[in-house]
Amino acid sequence: MHHIFTPGITPPVEQSVPAWWFAFVGKKLLVHQEGTANQIPQLTSLEEIGLIPIRTQFLGTLGDRPCYCAELPKDISTPTGMTLQGLRELYGTLDEDLFILSGRAIQIVEWNRTHQYCGYCATPTTQLSHERAKRCPNCGLVNYPRLSPAVIVLISRGEELLLARAHRFPPKMYSILAGFVEPGESLEETVVREVREEVGIEVKDIRYFGSQPWPFPNSLMIGFTATYASGEIAIEPEELVDAGWFNKHNLPQIPPKLSIARKLIDWFVSTH
Protein backbone atom coordinates (compact mmCIF):
# COMPACT_ATOMS: atom_id res chain seq x y z
CA MET A 1 0.00 0.00 0.00
CA HIS A 2 2.68 2.49 1.11
CA HIS A 3 0.42 5.48 1.72
CA ILE A 4 1.61 8.35 3.91
CA PHE A 5 0.20 8.34 7.44
CA THR A 6 -0.51 11.73 9.00
CA PRO A 7 -1.15 11.61 12.75
CA GLY A 8 -4.13 13.58 14.03
CA ILE A 9 -6.08 14.30 17.20
CA THR A 10 -9.34 15.83 15.95
CA PRO A 11 -11.52 13.69 13.66
CA PRO A 12 -12.99 15.20 10.49
CA VAL A 13 -16.30 17.02 10.92
CA GLU A 14 -17.70 15.27 7.86
CA GLN A 15 -16.53 11.85 6.74
CA SER A 16 -16.89 11.33 3.00
CA VAL A 17 -15.16 7.93 2.79
CA PRO A 18 -15.19 4.83 5.04
CA ALA A 19 -12.49 4.85 7.71
CA TRP A 20 -10.03 2.18 8.77
CA TRP A 21 -11.19 0.82 12.15
CA PHE A 22 -8.58 -0.78 14.41
CA ALA A 23 -10.92 -2.33 16.96
CA PHE A 24 -9.58 -4.40 19.85
CA VAL A 25 -11.01 -6.83 22.35
CA GLY A 26 -8.25 -6.90 24.93
CA LYS A 27 -5.06 -7.37 22.91
CA LYS A 28 -6.79 -8.95 19.90
CA LEU A 29 -7.61 -7.03 16.74
CA LEU A 30 -10.81 -7.43 14.74
CA VAL A 31 -10.01 -8.33 11.11
CA HIS A 32 -11.71 -9.62 7.98
CA GLN A 33 -10.39 -13.04 6.99
CA GLU A 34 -9.75 -13.43 3.26
CA GLY A 35 -8.04 -16.78 2.75
CA THR A 36 -4.52 -16.50 4.16
CA ALA A 37 -4.73 -12.70 4.21
CA ASN A 38 -6.47 -10.37 6.65
CA GLN A 39 -7.96 -6.91 6.22
CA ILE A 40 -8.75 -4.07 8.60
CA PRO A 41 -12.48 -3.21 8.43
CA GLN A 42 -13.37 -0.10 6.40
CA LEU A 43 -16.54 1.42 7.84
CA THR A 44 -18.20 4.72 8.50
CA SER A 45 -18.71 3.50 12.07
CA LEU A 46 -18.56 0.22 13.99
CA GLU A 47 -22.32 0.40 14.47
CA GLU A 48 -22.60 -0.68 10.81
CA ILE A 49 -21.60 -4.20 11.88
CA GLY A 50 -23.52 -4.15 15.15
CA LEU A 51 -20.65 -3.20 17.47
CA ILE A 52 -20.79 -0.47 20.11
CA PRO A 53 -17.29 0.56 21.26
CA ILE A 54 -16.50 1.44 24.85
CA ARG A 55 -14.05 4.16 23.80
CA THR A 56 -12.59 5.43 20.54
CA GLN A 57 -9.69 7.63 19.48
CA PHE A 58 -8.99 9.27 16.14
CA LEU A 59 -5.51 8.26 14.95
CA GLY A 60 -5.05 10.37 11.81
CA THR A 61 -5.26 9.66 8.09
CA LEU A 62 -3.63 7.03 5.91
CA GLY A 63 -3.60 8.48 2.43
CA ASP A 64 -7.01 10.18 2.28
CA ARG A 65 -8.75 7.74 4.63
CA PRO A 66 -9.43 8.47 8.33
CA CYS A 67 -8.16 5.96 10.90
CA TYR A 68 -9.71 5.20 14.28
CA CYS A 69 -8.91 2.85 17.12
CA ALA A 70 -11.52 1.44 19.45
CA GLU A 71 -11.86 -0.65 22.59
CA LEU A 72 -14.64 -3.21 22.32
CA PRO A 73 -16.43 -5.09 25.13
CA LYS A 74 -15.04 -8.53 25.93
CA ASP A 75 -18.40 -10.24 25.35
CA ILE A 76 -19.02 -9.17 21.73
CA SER A 77 -20.28 -11.57 19.10
CA THR A 78 -17.72 -11.49 16.31
CA PRO A 79 -19.40 -10.38 13.05
CA THR A 80 -19.69 -12.94 10.24
CA GLY A 81 -16.48 -13.23 8.23
CA MET A 82 -14.38 -11.60 10.93
CA THR A 83 -12.08 -12.90 13.61
CA LEU A 84 -10.02 -11.64 16.56
CA GLN A 85 -6.26 -12.15 16.34
CA GLY A 86 -3.14 -11.01 18.20
CA LEU A 87 -0.70 -8.72 16.41
CA ARG A 88 2.10 -11.29 16.37
CA GLU A 89 -0.21 -13.73 14.57
CA LEU A 90 -1.11 -11.05 12.02
CA TYR A 91 2.44 -10.28 10.92
CA GLY A 92 2.77 -11.10 7.24
CA THR A 93 -1.00 -11.39 6.70
CA LEU A 94 -1.76 -7.65 6.87
CA ASP A 95 -0.53 -4.93 4.55
CA GLU A 96 2.66 -3.47 6.08
CA ASP A 97 1.20 0.03 6.51
CA LEU A 98 -1.82 -1.38 8.30
CA PHE A 99 0.27 -3.69 10.48
CA ILE A 100 2.39 -0.74 11.63
CA LEU A 101 -0.73 1.30 12.31
CA SER A 102 -2.19 -1.61 14.27
CA GLY A 103 0.80 -1.38 16.61
CA ARG A 104 0.19 2.32 17.10
CA ALA A 105 -3.52 1.73 17.62
CA ILE A 106 -3.20 -0.89 20.36
CA GLN A 107 -0.95 1.41 22.37
CA ILE A 108 -3.41 4.32 22.08
CA VAL A 109 -6.32 2.03 23.04
CA GLU A 110 -4.44 0.82 26.13
CA TRP A 111 -3.45 4.36 27.14
CA ASN A 112 -7.02 5.54 26.69
CA ARG A 113 -8.34 2.65 28.79
CA THR A 114 -5.88 3.05 31.67
CA HIS A 115 -5.95 6.84 32.00
CA GLN A 116 -9.63 7.52 32.55
CA TYR A 117 -8.76 8.76 36.06
CA CYS A 118 -5.92 10.84 37.47
CA GLY A 119 -3.20 8.68 39.00
CA TYR A 120 -2.59 11.31 41.70
CA CYS A 121 -6.06 12.39 42.90
CA ALA A 122 -8.43 9.93 41.11
CA THR A 123 -10.42 12.69 39.38
CA PRO A 124 -11.84 11.76 35.93
CA THR A 125 -9.43 13.08 33.29
CA THR A 126 -10.17 15.30 30.29
CA GLN A 127 -8.90 14.63 26.78
CA LEU A 128 -6.93 17.60 25.43
CA SER A 129 -8.01 18.81 22.00
CA HIS A 130 -4.60 19.88 20.66
CA GLU A 131 -2.40 16.91 21.61
CA ARG A 132 -2.60 13.23 22.56
CA ALA A 133 -2.84 13.78 26.30
CA LYS A 134 -5.24 13.60 29.22
CA ARG A 135 -5.32 16.31 31.86
CA CYS A 136 -6.71 16.19 35.37
CA PRO A 137 -9.08 19.17 35.84
CA ASN A 138 -8.49 19.05 39.60
CA CYS A 139 -4.70 18.90 40.07
CA GLY A 140 -3.50 19.59 36.52
CA LEU A 141 -1.54 16.36 36.07
CA VAL A 142 -1.07 15.58 32.35
CA ASN A 143 -0.54 12.05 31.06
CA TYR A 144 0.71 11.12 27.59
CA PRO A 145 0.73 7.66 25.99
CA ARG A 146 3.38 5.59 27.71
CA LEU A 147 6.53 4.73 25.77
CA SER A 148 9.23 2.51 27.29
CA PRO A 149 12.64 2.79 25.56
CA ALA A 150 14.73 -0.37 25.41
CA VAL A 151 18.10 -1.07 23.80
CA ILE A 152 18.91 -4.19 21.79
CA VAL A 153 22.48 -4.93 20.81
CA LEU A 154 24.30 -7.30 18.48
CA ILE A 155 27.74 -8.11 19.90
CA SER A 156 30.30 -9.46 17.43
CA ARG A 157 33.69 -11.15 17.73
CA GLY A 158 35.09 -11.66 14.26
CA GLU A 159 32.63 -13.90 12.41
CA GLU A 160 30.90 -14.82 15.65
CA LEU A 161 28.00 -13.12 17.36
CA LEU A 162 26.73 -13.50 20.89
CA LEU A 163 23.27 -15.07 21.21
CA ALA A 164 21.30 -15.92 24.33
CA ARG A 165 18.15 -17.77 25.42
CA ALA A 166 15.76 -16.08 27.83
CA HIS A 167 13.36 -18.12 29.97
CA ARG A 168 10.32 -16.77 28.07
CA PHE A 169 11.63 -17.73 24.59
CA PRO A 170 10.07 -20.52 22.52
CA PRO A 171 12.03 -23.80 22.69
CA LYS A 172 15.46 -23.68 20.99
CA MET A 173 15.22 -19.99 20.02
CA TYR A 174 18.15 -17.66 20.65
CA SER A 175 18.37 -13.90 20.17
CA ILE A 176 20.58 -10.91 20.89
CA LEU A 177 20.59 -9.06 24.22
CA ALA A 178 18.07 -6.37 25.12
CA GLY A 179 16.96 -4.40 28.15
CA PHE A 180 15.06 -1.34 29.29
CA VAL A 181 16.64 2.06 29.80
CA GLU A 182 16.78 3.17 33.43
CA PRO A 183 16.25 6.77 34.63
CA GLY A 184 19.38 8.87 34.23
CA GLU A 185 21.05 6.57 31.68
CA SER A 186 22.16 7.31 28.15
CA LEU A 187 21.37 4.63 25.59
CA GLU A 188 25.05 3.70 25.35
CA GLU A 189 25.29 3.35 29.13
CA THR A 190 22.29 1.03 29.04
CA VAL A 191 24.03 -1.16 26.45
CA VAL A 192 27.13 -1.49 28.63
CA ARG A 193 25.13 -2.18 31.80
CA GLU A 194 22.74 -4.72 30.27
CA VAL A 195 25.56 -6.68 28.63
CA ARG A 196 27.60 -6.67 31.83
CA GLU A 197 24.61 -7.74 33.95
CA GLU A 198 23.31 -10.46 31.64
CA VAL A 199 26.49 -12.11 30.33
CA GLY A 200 29.38 -10.58 32.31
CA ILE A 201 31.45 -9.26 29.40
CA GLU A 202 32.60 -5.80 28.31
CA VAL A 203 31.91 -4.26 24.89
CA LYS A 204 33.31 -1.40 22.83
CA ASP A 205 32.65 0.43 19.54
CA ILE A 206 28.95 0.92 20.30
CA ARG A 207 27.16 2.16 17.18
CA TYR A 208 23.53 3.04 16.49
CA PHE A 209 21.82 0.71 14.00
CA GLY A 210 18.13 1.65 13.88
CA SER A 211 14.92 1.60 15.86
CA GLN A 212 11.55 -0.13 15.80
CA PRO A 213 8.27 0.52 17.60
CA TRP A 214 7.47 -2.64 19.53
CA PRO A 215 3.87 -2.61 20.79
CA PHE A 216 4.24 -5.60 23.13
CA PRO A 217 3.01 -3.69 25.03
CA ASN A 218 4.57 -0.23 24.59
CA SER A 219 8.30 -0.32 23.84
CA LEU A 220 10.56 1.50 21.44
CA MET A 221 13.44 -0.83 20.56
CA ILE A 222 16.66 1.07 19.82
CA GLY A 223 19.19 -1.12 18.05
CA PHE A 224 22.97 -1.00 18.40
CA THR A 225 26.00 -2.95 17.30
CA ALA A 226 29.06 -3.45 19.50
CA THR A 227 32.24 -5.49 19.47
CA TYR A 228 33.58 -7.77 22.17
CA ALA A 229 36.20 -6.12 24.41
CA SER A 230 36.95 -8.52 27.28
CA GLY A 231 35.66 -11.07 29.77
CA GLU A 232 34.17 -14.55 29.82
CA ILE A 233 30.46 -15.29 29.46
CA ALA A 234 28.75 -15.68 32.84
CA ILE A 235 24.97 -15.63 32.49
CA GLU A 236 22.54 -14.06 34.92
CA PRO A 237 20.37 -17.11 35.72
CA GLU A 238 17.25 -15.07 36.53
CA GLU A 239 17.35 -13.55 33.04
CA LEU A 240 18.91 -16.21 30.81
CA VAL A 241 18.98 -19.96 30.33
CA ASP A 242 22.05 -20.00 28.09
CA ALA A 243 24.36 -17.74 26.07
CA GLY A 244 27.27 -18.33 23.74
CA TRP A 245 29.24 -17.35 20.66
CA PHE A 246 27.83 -18.60 17.34
CA ASN A 247 29.50 -18.55 13.95
CA LYS A 248 27.42 -16.73 11.33
CA HIS A 249 27.40 -19.94 9.21
CA ASN A 250 25.97 -22.06 12.04
CA LEU A 251 23.19 -20.18 13.78
CA PRO A 252 20.50 -21.70 16.00
CA GLN A 253 16.82 -20.83 15.63
CA ILE A 254 16.56 -17.01 15.65
CA PRO A 255 13.67 -14.50 15.86
CA PRO A 256 11.30 -13.98 12.90
CA LYS A 257 11.80 -11.20 10.36
CA LEU A 258 9.21 -9.08 12.16
CA SER A 259 11.78 -8.02 14.76
CA ILE A 260 14.71 -5.63 14.80
CA ALA A 261 16.67 -8.48 16.41
CA ARG A 262 16.38 -10.41 13.16
CA LYS A 263 17.28 -7.33 11.11
CA LEU A 264 20.48 -6.96 13.14
CA ILE A 265 21.36 -10.63 12.78
CA ASP A 266 20.64 -10.62 9.01
CA TRP A 267 22.79 -7.49 8.64
CA PHE A 268 25.68 -9.16 10.46
CA VAL A 269 25.48 -12.33 8.37
CA SER A 270 25.42 -10.35 5.10
CA THR A 271 28.23 -7.92 5.94
CA HIS A 272 30.80 -9.99 7.87
Annotated binding site for a divalent metal cation: 178, 194, 198, 239
Which residues are annotated as part of the binding site for Zn(2+)?
118, 121, 136, 139
Binding-site residues for substrate sit at: 88, 131, 144, 212-219, 261
- The dihedral through the CA atoms of 93, 100, 60, 68 has a sign that is positive
Sequence-ordered alpha helix ranges (H) in the chain = 87-90, 96-114, 187-199, 260-271
**CA quadruple 185, 187, 188, 193: dihedral positive or negative?**
positive
Residue numbers belonging to the annotated binding site: 88, 118, 121, 131, 136, 139, 144, 178, 194, 198, 212-219, 239, 261
Interatomic CA distance for residues 21 and 157, integer angstroms: 47
State how far the Cα of 162 lies from the Cα of 175, in Å rounded to an integer. 8
CA distance 203 to 208: 14
Q: 136-149 burial, b for 16+ CB within 10 Å, e for fewer?
A: beeeeeebebeeee
Measured over the CA atoms of residue 202, residue 208, residue 214 and residue 217, the dihedral's sign is positive
Report the amino acid identity of residue 167.
Answer: H
